[in-house]
Amino acid sequence: MSSDPFQNLDPAQSVKVLPRHLAGPGPASPRTAWPFPFDKDWSLHQPEEGTAFATSPCLRLWTHLALEPDKPCKGTWTIAANRVPFGPVAWQITLDATTPVELLHDLHTELLDLYLEDRHSDRDWLYEDETAPYEAYAPLFARGWSHSVKTEGTQTFLAPDGRGGVLHRYATTGSDGPTWRAWGGYPSEPHWQARFSFGTPTTLVAAFTASLISTEPVHRTAQDVPFHTRRHLYVAAPAPAKQTTGPLPVAPPPKGVGLGRSL
């Protein structure tokens, strides 16, 4: 069996792959990543090609895509919240445009849920989240991620393949850097990164890490799978298509991981 399970596939062949952190970005478009009800009360602005904004009805929450094809990260997704419309940013999340779109979608879905809960509650969940940090990293242990702690106040979780990670600054007391950082690839040369600033609701981080380790395969075409990660991917349930060799290796079915949260 070849070490590259994609080499004998037609470039347009559709497959399902795992793990997510090595699958490549996929169709990184606003409509794919944003689950917001634009036909109701959320606003969508696309002032120019490669740029898009989404804003909540209260104008305190916004998310932005700026594509930059010439850069290694291909651009940036930014999510931010202001305590008052057009006021200073209270917290911010930035993600490379090379981040797998499924992670972006699940993060924005949780963002919408949190916004709706905040809207219909007497609590300010967007700014006073009470989710404990372990909610974001405990599921990593269940998937075999390693754990190391430094006395400087950081702890790092690495994927079993060593090509993905989550860093948590647990001793931070200010906003001089991200409280959480996640990446795919080696830490020194990641394929994508996500950064969560001080004050970001831990609920959103937990949704992101749950999506990161989800065992639900993601859809890609063979040509969309990055060459530098394809030898480290499992192919699960490939779609029927003409092949020049025998069947693809199929990943053993792991136990599923839910994307729910608790506050």
Residue 96: C-alpha distances to residues 79, 166, 183 (Å): 12, 15, 10
Domain membership flag for residue 256: no
Range of the domain at 72: 20-212
* pLDDT value of residue 19: 96
Is the residue at 144 inside a domain? yes
Q: How many domains does the chain have?
A: 1
Tell me if 194 is assigned to some domain: yes
pTM for this model (two decimals): 0.87
Run of H or E including 55: strand 51-55
What's the pLDDT score for residue 175? 54
Kindly list the strands in the beta sheet with 180-186, ordered across the sheet, starting from the edge strand earlier in the chain: 43-45, 51-55, 61-67, 75-82, 89-96, 189-196, 180-186, 164-169, 154-158, 146-150
Per the domain annotation, does 56 fall within a domain?
yes
- 66: in domain: yes
Tell me, yes or no, whether 107 lies in a domain: yes
Termini Cα distance of the chain: 47
pLDDT, averaged per 10 consecutive residues of the chain (263 residues), comes to 72 92 91 94 92 95 96 96 94 97 98 91 86 96 95 94 95 76 94 96 98 96 88 74 40 38 36
In-domain check, residue 34: yes
**242 is a domain residue:** no
